[in-house]
């Protein structure tokens, strides 16, 4: 019988596939986007902080582009070799580095020619388009304006610039402004100044990150004229605006105005306008302010809802692609409705990368997906790198991805209901710890405080907030069909939002819920380097890398103080700017006293942060000088010297009032004299009052005042004299005072954007 050969069976040659080897468990082999992100970040940092011109960056980019093209051409001619070869890879990374360096330099360090900056100090009328969602508070409304024209000399002239506009609301009116509105603005043009105090919010830097060259201040809503149109895209008009309006109107339909509805709007669509300041402070003190930022929690819930509704389509390849594209479309709409928050964009891009890998059959690594999302975000706007929200979301997500598997390994089978509950509780606690470890240095760097109760507070606040979102999303969907049924979900949302708010307020009332603690960029870098060294040390094959990383940390700790001018000792005195008020910190080296304070309740926290930042000893007393006793009496210190008190005696500091409007403070090394008016520089008998540091408050400055002050400075020769002009000083005399200060090196005028530091 003839036997059939079934070895080949008429088939063509079969390619032998080599065995599949899993990617290494450590190293950067499965993370190409992470390596690319490193080049992107390095380029942006170099471009925004470099000493080179934009022309040099463009030349470097052109050279890197040519070398990369040559390397790719040579690699294609040698198909048998490694692709790409190491040199081409280096050229490509250099191309990315120089491209983002040039891009960042152009956006951060350059302003338009013949722009609004030339109008600084004058009043102008400009027209343009509102870019982004306006920030509304009880004091005023702020937004960024894309200027298209300016009205000058009776004619309209084209102008292409960006300005930050602030409209004061004297009657707490809410301006009906939206993203894309075309408006006419009249106001005074100014240049954004620096931070009021060291380590505080920097308006100039914020303006550059927003690509804003100047600011416009409007006295009231009457200086804003809506031109009756909006400049938005078709996508926003057809999808984003209707969805946003539906969400806000539905919240207004089911919930009365108050903290709960404001909290829901902030959590759901990132609309924090009108949020009670005390409630916002409670979330910040407890380390749960991230709840108010639309983040990955909401993105995950949306993806879950879409997949539950369309799970039957996922059985086929085309169906899976259809579900993926629909999910991406929904996430794009939601990200726009939420105001384009960085956390939403990052979570959406990361989710799409993970889902896209699953649909295409490729394995997706979460850390690589996070890096890919960051690269895409930074490609649209390199200055997003310096956004605190961008840094905090990345720190939290990276901490979860790297630490959670080690803090909370998967549970084994069995164990019963009690073991399952403990595993879930431990998982929530581990998740909070991992996110807190990742984001703590960023919070300390930007906000100057660390929440002591953060880990404990996050458990109930995040839990109840999540349940609230679980109720809000079905409410929004069901309300399209049946309002009464949707009201059932609304009742649940009200209940859970109340529990979340009550938990945040209860934990914020705990003494020392938040303590002042600030670190710079070097401190944050050291924190993350130590964390990376700890993770590497857990891998036996990577312990040598951990040792090298620890040595690098030691180098940072040694060299950074040297390059930053050395370790300067604490000053003897320093001013703290508090808006129109100014406080003075005076130190003996053993203890410190605070003279005056701000009218705002948050002023003492700012003063305490400055005392800690300059390395001053703890505050022992507060002294009233220019402000009322009611302000000083609210300061939480052990000793108070009110206006009726004549002497304050501490172990190393003595304060004394020799006359009305005069305050003298002594320590072993320095003396301080503070007076209201030039007459306080002399005793009733005409003798000179001497001091190392003098602070003089002036309401007038005429020729005779100049002669008196010049004579006192020449005879006493103080180390420094600070002049604080009053708000009602005539403009001519204020200019006269400025010229006097420029002629005298010992004299300086108090600036709202610069501190006076005395060693």
% of the chain at pLDDT higher than 70: 83
Give me the pLDDT at residue 407, please: 76
Number of domains, the chain: 5
Tell me, rounded to whole angstroms, the distance of Cα 640 from its chain centroid. Answer: 36
Measuring CA to CA, how many Å separate 167 from each of 146, 161, 397, 402? 16, 19, 37, 45
> Looking at per-residue confidence, does 302 or 328 come out higher?
328
> Containing domain of residue 453, as a range?
237-409+422-516
Residue 58 located in a structural domain: yes
Provide mean pLDDT across the span 685-710. 84
Question: pLDDT averaged over the chain?
Answer: 79
Higher-pLDDT residue of 413, 676: 676
Residues 667 and 603: beta-carbon distance below 8 Å: no
Q: Which residue intervals of 338-415 are DSSP H helices?
A: 342-360, 366-380, 388-407
Which residues pair with residue 131 across a beta bridge? Answer: 144
Better-scored residue on pLDDT, 99 or 156:
99
Query: Looking at the domain assignment, is residue 18 inside a domain?
Result: no
Q: Is the model more confident about 570 or about 7?
A: 570
Could you tell me if residue 407 is left (phi over 0), alpha (psi between -120 and 50 degrees) or otherwise beta?
alpha
The answer on 66 and 184 residing in a single domain is no
Q: Stretch 72-84: mean pLDDT, rounded?
A: 69
- Same domain for 58 and 135: no
Cβ(79)–Cβ(95) under 8 Å? Answer: no
Q: Are residues 98 and 199 in the same domain?
A: no
Q: What is the DSSP string of 177-214?
A: --TTEEEEEEEEEE-----SSTTS--HHHHHHHTT--E
Instruction: Find all residues with CB under 8 Å of 681, minimum gap 6, and list them.
Output: 673, 675, 688, 689, 694, 696, 708, 709, 712
* pLDDT greater at residue 633 or residue 126: 126
Q: Of 93, 109, 125, which marks where a domain is finished?
A: 109
Which of 65, 88, 109 marks a domain boundary? 109
Per-residue pLDDT at 24: 43
Check pLDDT > 80 for residue 354: no
Contact predicate 221/192, CB 8 Å: no
Looking at residue 20, what is its pLDDT? 44
Task: Using the predicted structure, report yes or no on whether residue 100 has a pLDDT greater than 90.
Answer: yes
Range 391-420 average pLDDT: 73
Verify that 506 and 548 share a domain, yes or no: no
Does residue 301 belong to any structural domain of this protein? yes
Residue 695 contacts residue 722 (beta carbons within 8 Å): yes
Furthest C-alpha separation in the chain: 139
Q: Does the residue 738 lie in any domain?
A: yes
Based on the domain organization, do 169 and 70 belong to the same domain?
A: no
The reply to whether 135 and 89 lie within a common domain is no
Pairwise pLDDT comparison (714 vs 270), residue with the higher score: 714
Residue 273 domain-assigned (yes or no) = yes
Instruction: Judge whether residue 28 has pLDDT over 60.
Output: no
Whether the per-residue pLDDT at 62 is higher than 90: the answer is: yes
Omega before 84 within 30 of 0, i.e. cis? yes
DSSP states along 565-580: T--PPPPSEEEEEETT
Asked if residue 655 is part of any domain, the answer here is yes
pLDDT per position as a tens digit, 242-263:
888 888 888 888 888 778 888 8
More confident of the two residues 219 and 25:
219
Question: CA-CA distance, 327 to 512, in Å (whole number)?
Answer: 44
Residue 19 falls within a domain, yes or no?
Answer: no
Q: Convert the pLDDT of each residue in 142-155 to its tens digit.
A: 889 999 898 877 78
The predicted-structure confidence for 468-485, as pLDDT tens digits, reads as follows 888 888 888 888 888 888
* Encoded tokens for 686: 């005409």
- Nearest-angstrom CA–CA distance, 218 and 197: 25
Q: Is the pLDDT of residue 98 over 90?
A: yes
Q: How confident is the model at residue 23 (pLDDT cuts 50, 70, 90)?
A: very low
- Pairwise pLDDT comparison (276 vs 374), residue with the higher score: 374
User: What CATH number should be reported for the domain holding residue 656?
Assistant: 3.60.15
How high is the pLDDT of residue 595? 87
pLDDT for 97: 93
pLDDT at 83 over 90: no
Choice among 118-127, 604-613, 656-665 with the minimum mean pLDDT: 604-613
Percent of the chain with pLDDT over 90: 4
Same domain, 349 and 498: yes
Q: Average pLDDT in the 43-67 region?
A: 88
Distance, in Å, from the CA atom of 99 to the CA atom of 55, rounded to the nearest integer, reads: 12
Q: Are residues 65 and 148 in the same domain?
A: no
pLDDT at 176 over 70: yes
Residue 19, pLDDT > 50, answer no
484-515 confidence digits (pLDDT tens)? 888 898 899 888 888 988 888 888 877 766 66
Q: Residues 650-690: pLDDT tens digits?
A: 888 888 888 888 888 888 888 888 888 888 888 877 788 88
**Is 0.75 surpassed by the pTM of this model?**
yes
Mean local confidence (pLDDT), 556-564: 63
Q: Report the candidate in 151, 171, 147 with the shortest Cα–Cα distance to residue 160.
A: 147
Judged against a pLDDT cut of 60, whether residue 396 lies above it is answered with yes
User: 266: pLDDT confidence band, cut at 50, 70 and 90?
Assistant: confident
Residues 281, 404, single domain; the answer is yes
Task: Indicate if the pLDDT at residue 169 is higher than 80.
Answer: yes
Same domain, 586 and 685: yes
Residue 657 inside a domain? The answer is: yes
Same domain, 241 and 367: yes
Q: Which residue, of 507, 530, 563, is where some domain finishes?
A: 563
SS3 annotation, 262-295: HHHHHHHHCCCCCCCHHHHHHHHHCCCHHHHCCC
Q: What integer pLDDT is reported at residue 53 of this predicted model?
A: 85
Taking Cα atoms as reference points, which of 374, 376, 331 lies closest to residue 351?
331
Checking if the pLDDT of 49 tops 70, the result is yes
pLDDT, tens only, 500-558: 888 888 888 777 666 666 677 777 777 777 777 787 777 766 667 677 777 777 766 66
Q: Alpha carbon 315 to chain centroid distance?
A: 43
The pLDDT assigned to 694 comes to 87
Residue 111, Cβ neighbours under 10 Å: how many?
15
Both 312 and 188 in one domain: the answer is no
Q: What SS3 state is found at 25?
A: coil
Beta bridge partner(s), residue 751: 754
Please give the average per-residue pLDDT across 341-367, as a whole number: 70
């Amino acid at each position: 019988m003839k036997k059939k050969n079934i070895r080949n069976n008429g088939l063509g040659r079969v390619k032998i596939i080599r065995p599949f080897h899993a990617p290494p468990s450590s190293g950067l082999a499965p993370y190409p986007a992470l390596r690319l992100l490193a080049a992107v970040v390095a380029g942006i940092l170099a471009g925004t902080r470099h000493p080179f011109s934009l022309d040099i960056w463009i030349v470097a980019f052109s050279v890197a582009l040519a070398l990369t093209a040559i390397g790719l051409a040579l690699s294609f001619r040698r198909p048998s070799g490694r692709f790409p070869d190491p040199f081409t890879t280096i050229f490509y990374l250099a191309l990315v580095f120089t491209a983002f360096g040039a891009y960042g330099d152009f956006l951060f360090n350059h302003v338009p020619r013949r722009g609004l900056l030339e109008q600084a100090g004058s009043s102008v009328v400009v027209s343009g388009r509102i870019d982004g969602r306006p920030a509304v508070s009880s004091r005023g409304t702020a937004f960024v304006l894309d200027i298209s024209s300016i009205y000058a000399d009776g004619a309209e002239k084209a102008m292409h610039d960006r300005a930050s506009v602030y409209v004061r609301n004297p009657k707490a009116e809410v301006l009906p402004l939206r993203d894309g509105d075309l408006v006419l603005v009249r106001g005074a043009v100014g240049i954004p100044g620096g931070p009021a105090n060291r380590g505080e919010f920097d308006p100039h830097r914020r303006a550059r990150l927003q690509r804003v060259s100047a600011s416009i201040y409007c006295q009231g809503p009457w200086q804003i004229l809506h031109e009756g149109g909006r400049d938005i895209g078709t996508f926003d008009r057809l999808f984003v605006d209707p969805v946003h309006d539906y969400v806000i109107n539905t919240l207004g339909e089911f919930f009365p105005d108050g903290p709960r509805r404001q909290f829901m709007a902030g959590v759901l669509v990132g609309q924090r306008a009108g949020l009670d300041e005390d409630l916002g402070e409670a979330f910040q003190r407890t380390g749960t302010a991230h709840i108010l930022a639309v983040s990955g929690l909401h993105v995950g819930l949306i993806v879950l809802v879409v997949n539950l509704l369309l799970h039957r389509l996922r059985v086929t390849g085309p169906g899976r692609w259809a579900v993926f594209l629909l999910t991406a479309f929904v996430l794009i709409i939601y990200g726009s409705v939420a105001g384009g928050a960085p956390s939403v964009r990052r979570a959406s891009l990361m989710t799409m990368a993970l889902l896209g890998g699953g649909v295409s059959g490729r394995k997706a690594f979460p850390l690589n997906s996070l890096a890919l999302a960051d690269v895409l975000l930074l490609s649209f706007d390199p200055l997003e790198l310096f956004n605190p929200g961008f840094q905090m979301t990345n720190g939290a997500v990276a901490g979860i991805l790297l630490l959670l598997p080690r803090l909370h390994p998967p549970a084994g089978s069995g164990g019963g209901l009690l073991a399952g509950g403990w595993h879930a509780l431990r998982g929530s606690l581990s998740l909070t710890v991992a996110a807190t470890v990742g984001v703590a240095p960023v919070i300390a760097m930007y906000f100057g405080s660390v929440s002591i109760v953060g880990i404990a507070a996050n458990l109930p606040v995040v839990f109840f907030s999540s349940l609230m979102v679980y109720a809000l999303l079905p409410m929004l969907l069901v309300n399209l069909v049946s309002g009464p049924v949707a009201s059932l979900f609304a009742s649940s949302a009200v209940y859970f939002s109340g529990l979340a708010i009550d938990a945040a307020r209860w934990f914020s009332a705990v003494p020392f819920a938040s303590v002042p603690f600030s670190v710079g960029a070097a401190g944050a870098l050291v924190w993350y380097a130590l964390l990376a060294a700890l993770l590497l040390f857990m891998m036996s094959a990577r312990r040598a890398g951990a040792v090298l990383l620890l040595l690098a940390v030691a180098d940072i700790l040694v060299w950074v103080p040297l390059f930053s001018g050395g370790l300067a000792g604490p000053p003897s005195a320093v001013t703290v700017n508090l808006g129109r008020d100014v406080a003075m910190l005076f130190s003996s080296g053993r203890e410190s006293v605070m003279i005056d304070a701000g009218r705002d309740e948050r002023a003492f926290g700012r003063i305490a942060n400055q005392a800690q930042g300059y390395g001053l000893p703890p505050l022992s007393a507060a002294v009233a000088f220019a402000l009322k006793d009611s302000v000083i009496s609210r300061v939480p210190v052990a000793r108070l010297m009110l206006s009726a008190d004549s002497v304050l005696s501490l172990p190393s500091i003595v304060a004394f009032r020799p006359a009305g409007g005069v305050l003298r403070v002594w320590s072993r090394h320095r003396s301080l004299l503070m007076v209201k008016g030039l007459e306080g520089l002399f005793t009733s008998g005409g003798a000179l009052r001497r001091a190392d540091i003098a602070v003089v408050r002036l309401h007038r400055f005429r020729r005779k005042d100049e002669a008196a002050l010049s004579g006192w400075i020449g005879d006493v020769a103080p180390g420094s004299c600070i002049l604080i002009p009053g708000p009602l000083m005539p403009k001519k005399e204020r200019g006269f005072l400025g010229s006097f200060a420029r002629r005298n090196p010992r004299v300086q005028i108090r600036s709202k954007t610069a501190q006076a530091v005395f060693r």
